[in-house]
Structure 1
Amino acid sequence: MEKSEQGQEQPTGIPIIAGAEAPAPKEEIKEVPKEVKKDEGVSTHIFALRTTANREDQVLDFIGSNIKKKKLPVYSVIRPHGMRGYIFVESLDRQSAEQAAFNVPYARGILPKEIQYVEIEHMLEQVKREVDIRKSDIVEIISGPFKRENAKVTRIDRTKEEVVVELLGAAVPIPITVKMDAVKVIRRESEGPAPDSLAGGEDGEV
């Protein structure tokens, strides 16, 4: 497919921004306006719309207005938990998604590749679980542009459900802020592999 209007190249895997500063809210799903109805049996498509980080809510509102005004076959606009700088648009086709985002402030273009539902299904489920992450833990980043990279935890903010990590092996250590559910503990200092889920806190938390 063609590149987005901003010339962004297709990233590998699910397009998720992991390093933004502000916390992401729980997923927000805006239903299609009453004027646009989804016929049974209609095949829909999901596209990722890139936005200015921390402006996702405004983009959702503007797109909702566009859908209603233009009566576009766009059936949902989704901001999943743990994502920054992107939202998902479910529509009849790519053209409809692009029309919904046309001239919308803070919208930076639809990514070329269509998103499969199975790729984002886990992000649409609100699953609460206890996650034991401690300062100096070695973790694997499991989503975002640094997916599959190993990193060391340098700071924890449980209020925002975020951790600050530094990639292992990087020539210049650069702090990266990610959501707690975007990392998996694989090793703890002076210990073997850490369990997936434990309870408790540790120094270095906020």
Structure 2
Amino acid sequence: METKIRNYYAIKVTGGQETNVGLMLEERAKTNNINEIYSIIVPPNLKGYVIVEASGPHVVKLLISGIRNVRGVAQGLVPKDDILKIVSKKIVGPSIKEGDLVEVTAGPFRGMQAQVIKLNADKEEVVLNILESAFPLEVTIPIDQVKPSKKS
């Protein structure tokens, strides 16, 4: 059984159009039955590029020809290590533990002080006791909507 060659090619696109181009490339690959395209990656932190995993440059050129907002293929291949950095999940946000005082940064409780009651790392949620409430109020919100409160 032969192993398929998989290389990553950086497609130059108009800044801000990465998602649109990614969707158009996906649609073209499906409608034209281009089976040598293995994945299309739109990196959130890489402006002006879409990454295409394909068997060769000829397939990429066929895929991008005539697509609006595509500026061409960047020279060379994108190393697999760089792709893994792009697609691997990073733990972002401040480290918060149970008992910490935090400030809510988004949602209906924005700007309010709260104390962390429970931390659910799997769901990336935090259960808070809102301190500025007249009665005990527990809410569950995404962990990226809180930041550590300034210790006074």
Which category of TM-score, normalised to the shorter sequence, fits these structures? 0.5 to 0.7
TM-score, normalised with respect to structure 1: 0.43
Displacement of 1:40 after TM fit?
7.2
Paired AA for residue 66 in structure 2: N
Is this contact kept in 2: 1:46–1:88, CA < 8 A?
yes
Structure exhibiting the larger radius of gyration computed from Cα positions = 2
User: Could you say which residue in structure 1 is the equivalent of 2:58?
Assistant: 95
1:152-167 alignment, distance < 5 Å = none
User: Could you say which residue in structure 1 is the equivalent of 2:72?
Assistant: 109
In terms of fraction of residues, the more helix-rich structure is 2
TM-score, normalised with respect to structure 2: 0.57
**2:31 equivalent to 1:69:** yes
Displacement of 1:101 after TM fit?
0.8
User: Could you say which residue in structure 1 is the equivalent of 2:83?
Assistant: 120
Displacement of 1:90 after TM fit?
0.3
User: Could you say which residue in structure 1 is the equivalent of 2:5?
Assistant: 43
What residue ranges of structure 1 are gaps of 5+ in the alignment? 1-38, 133-157, 160-198
Percent sequence identity over matched residues?
17
Distance across 2 between alignment mates of 1:106 and 1:94: 19
What residue ranges of structure 2 are gaps of 5+ in the alignment? 96-104, 107-146
Runs of 4+ displaced beyond 4 Å = 199-202
Aligned residues: 100
